[in-house]
Amino acid sequence: MQTKTNALSQGLIRCHDCGYLVKTETKMSSCPRCDGHLHARNPHSLQRTTALLLSSFLLYIPANIFPIMMVNQFGAGEPHTITGGIVDLIDSGMIPIAMLVLVASILVPASKLIGISLLLLCAHFRWQVNARRWTTMYRMIAFVGRWSMLDIFMISILVDLVNFSGVQIIAGPAATAFAAVVILTMFAAENFDPRLLWDNQQNSYE
Amino acid sequence: MNSSSAYHACPECDLLLKATLPDVGEKAHCPRCGLLLARPHKQSVERTFALSIAGIILFFPANLLPMVGITMMGNANTGILFSGVLALFNEGLQAVAVVVFLASILFPLVHISLSLLISGHLYFNLANRYLAHWMRWMHHLDEWVMLEVYMLSIIVACVKLMSIAQLKLGWGLYAFVALIVINTLLTSGLDEALFWQRIEQLRTRKNNAN
C-alpha cells in the first residue's frame, strides 16, 4: 500500500482535522468535508514552537527555585520546592511514589524542553537523520506532556483537604510557573510539525 | 470532487498511502514512520453512543459526591473536584485554578457531551450541519482531558497524607474511577475515520433529498 511519495509532492494537502486529501491546485483555504483550515504544514511551525519553547525555558527557572507549596503548622511556615517535596517523600520511605513524582515533575519537563529543542534544531538545520527514530521521539514527547500536570492537580487536592486551624497547606508561586511550563510545552509540541523532519531527508524511502 | 479519496496521507510523515481500511481487530501502521493509522473497532458508533450515555450519567456522582475525607487532630474535611479549584482560587492562584477546572471538569464534560451528540446523530441517522464542527472540537479537546492524570495525583496526595492523617475514600472517588474507565474505552474505541465517513454519507443523502 506504500506509494513512496509525499502527499504534498503529488499536489495533495491532508486536512489537519479530518484527514481528507485536497488538491493543492484548487487553492481552497478550508476543507470541503469538515470546514477546517487547510495548510500543507503547520503554519509558522518552527517560529511558533521556538517562541513557546523559549517562554517555557524562562518559566522553568522560577518553577524550580520558588516554593511550590508551604506547610503552615501553628503559624510556622515551611516552604517546599518541587525537589524538596521529592526529598521529603524519599526521607519518609515512600520510594515508588517519590520516583513517580520525580519522573512526572522533573524528568518529563526537562526532557521535553531538551527534546523539542533538538527537534527544532534538526528541522531548521536540515540534519540528515533517521527520521523514523526522531518521529518516535516527537511522539513520545507529545504523549507524556500531559502527565506533568500531576503536581498541579496534587497541589489543588492538598490545598483543599489540609485546611485546618492548626495545619494548612498553601500553594506557592512556583505552581503558576510550573503549570505554565506544562501548558506551553504542550502547545509547543502541538505546533511542531514532524513532517518537516521528513521533508528535509534526501533518501527517506528505503 | 476536488479530492482523491482512494488515497490517505500519514498525518506525521505525509507519506501517500492507498486507502485500505484494516479489518476489525487489525491495526494499520504507517510503513515509513510507524504511526498507528487505524484500528477499527466493532460497532464503533453503537459503542460510543452507549459509553457516552454512561459517561454523562457518571459525571454527576463523580463531581458531586465527596471523593476523599480526611480527619486530622479531631477535625474532619472532605474534598470534591470543584472544591480543589475553589481552594486554589481563594489563595490567589486564579490562573492555576482555571487550568485545573478546565482539564478536570469542563473539558471532560464537553468531550463526553460532544461524543454523545455525534454518536447519537450517527446512530439515529440524523443529519446536522454542525456535526463536522463538533467532530473537529472533539478532536482538538482530546489531549486536554486529563482525568487519568488527576487520578494519579489523588493517589500521590493520599500517600503523602496517609502518615499524618486518617483518610476515608468516598463514593465520589469510585464514580470517578468508573468515569475514567468509561472515558478510556470511549476514546480508544472511537473510530474517527468511520465517523467522518458516516458524517459525509449523511450530508450527501440530505443534499440529494433536497
A154-163 pLDDT tens trace: 999 999 998 8
Q: What does the alpha-carbon distance between residue B171 and residue B177 come to, in Å, rounded to a whole number?
A: 10
B1: confidence class by pLDDT, cuts 50, 70, 90: very low
CB A3 within 8 A of CB A19: no
Q: Cβ distance B48 to B189 under 8 Å?
A: yes
Question: What confidence category does residue A125 fall into, taking pLDDT thresholds of 50, 70 and 90?
Answer: very high
Q: Does the pLDDT of residue B19 top 80, yes or no? A: no
Find the CB nearest B72 among A149, A164, A199: A164
Closest partner CB to A3 (pick from B16, B139, B140): B16
Report pLDDT digits (tens) over A66-80. Answer: 999 888 887 777 888
Chain center to CA of A21: 28
Residue A121 binned pLDDT confidence (cut-offs 50, 70, 90):
very high
Is residue B32 domain-shared with residue B77, that is, in the same domain? no
C-beta atoms of B14 and A14 within 8 A = yes
User: A35: number of CA atoms within 13 Å, CB side?
Assistant: 11
Same domain, B103 and B186: yes
CA distance A176 to A185: 14
B30 in Cβ contact with B37 (< 8 Å)? yes
Q: What is the pLDDT of residue A66?
A: 93
Q: What is the CATH number of domain A44-199?
A: 1.20.140
Per-residue model confidence (pLDDT) at position B206? 84
Residue-wise pLDDT for B35-87, tens only, equals 988 888 888 999 999 999 999 999 999 999 999 999 987 888 898 999 999 99
Examine the domain organization and report whether B88 and B60 are in the same domain: yes
Q: Mark whether B146 and B47 lie in a shared domain.
A: yes
B103 shares its domain with B68:
yes
- Retrieve residue A88's grid coordinates: 521529603
Q: Are residues B20 and B59 in the same domain?
A: no
How confident is the model over A22-39, as a mean pLDDT? Answer: 86
Give the model's confidence band at B107: pLDDT under 50 very low, under 70 low, under 90 confident, else very high.
very high
Distance CA A95, CA B206 (A): 61
Question: Are B19 and B105 found together in one domain?
Answer: no
Asked if residue B82 and residue B24 are part of one domain, the reply reads: no
Residue identified by cell 520516583 is: A99
Return the half-sphere exposure (C-beta side, CA atoms, 13 A cut-off) of residue A74.
1
* Minimal C-alpha gap between A87 and chain B (Å): 12
Query: B56 and B31, same structural domain?
Result: no
B76 touches chain A (CB under 8 A): no
For residues B162 and A84, what is the distance between their CA atoms, to the nearest angstrom?
A: 19
Average pLDDT, chain A: 89
Residue A188 carries which side chain, given as an amino acid letter? A
Q: How far apart are CA A33 and CA A22, in angstroms?
A: 10
Q: How many domains does chain B have?
A: 2
- Whether residue B79 sits in one domain with residue B99: yes
Edge-to-edge, what's the strand order for the sheet holding A167-171? A76-80, A69-73, A167-171
Q: Do residues B15 and B50 both lie within one domain?
A: no
Query: Pick from A131, A105, A101, A96: which is nearest to A201 by CA?
Result: A131
Residues in chain A closer than 8 A to B143 (CB atoms): 146, 186, 190
pLDDT digits (tens, 9 = 90+) for B180-210: 999 999 998 888 888 998 998 898 888 888 7
| pLDDT at residue A206 in the model | 47
Q: Which uninterrupted H or E stretch holds A5?
A: strand A2-6
Task: Note whether ipTM > 0.85 here.
Answer: yes
Would you state the cell numbers that stand for residue B197, as one nine-digit string? 465517513
The answer to whether B172 contacts chain A (CB < 8 Å) is: no
Q: Which domain holds residue B88?
A: 43-209
Could you read off the pLDDT of B121-179 as tens digits, one per residue? Answer: 999 999 888 999 999 999 999 999 999 999 999 998 998 888 888 899 999 999 999 99
**By the 8 A CB rule, do A137 and A119 touch?**
yes
Q: What percentage of residues in chain A have a pLDDT greater than 70?
A: 97
Amino acid at B95: A
Output the nine-digit C-alpha cell for B104. 478536570
B69 and B103 assigned to the same domain? yes
Q: How open is the CA angle B56-B62-B65, to the nearest 5 degrees?
A: 130
C-alpha cell at B38: 487505524
Comparing alpha-carbon positions, the chain B residue that sits nearest to A70 is: B91
Tell me if A6 and B17 make a contact (CB, 8 A cut-off): no
